[in-house]
Amino acid sequence: MPNIASILKAEISRVARKEVRAEIESLKKASAGYRSTIADLRRQVAALEKELRRISNGASRQAAEETHEDAEALGTKRRFSASRLASHRAKLGLSAASYGALVGVSGQTIYHWEQGKARPRATQLENLATVRSLGARDVAERLGAQ
């Protein structure tokens, strides 16, 4: 005759497995629903990020076009060369402070431009172009007047 305790134990474990299985099924369904929702949200985020990049690229292109149009409206675009600045200053025999006074900046700024640590702004480029067009006498007159 079978032992009642072992039969009872087997029946309890069978019922427990059945209950756990039912709970797990509902959890699996909920988990699948959450995964689906998360995937949808990720797709939405990716689409929004893509649109944001497109808009920001368009804005940066538009800003670049506007600055290009502004430069064209002002006249020719000026180029800058640090070595040419240094050679022009040496040709005139001026100190960086004197050359800076002609351009409207400090001597330290002239040094930074010559060493390539900084670049002049557009208005400063126009001032540099003006100074480059001056002869040695004109430079002496302007420095004497200051």
Residues 124-141 have a mean pLDDT of 88
Phi-psi region at 119: left, alpha or beta (left = phi > 0; alpha = psi -120 to 50): beta
Write the CB contacts of 134 (distance below 8 Å, at least 6 apart in sequence).
102, 142
Give pLDDT, residue 134.
Answer: 86
pLDDT digits (tens, 9 = 90+) for 65-113: 666 555 555 556 788 888 999 999 999 889 999 999 989 999 999 999 9
Q: What is the pLDDT of residues 110-131, one digit of tens each?
A: 999 999 899 999 889 999 999 9
How many degrees, rounded to 5, is the angle at CA 90 between CA 75 and CA 96? Answer: 75
Question: Higher model confidence: residue 48 or residue 136?
Answer: 48
CA 15 to chain centroid, in Å, comes to 63
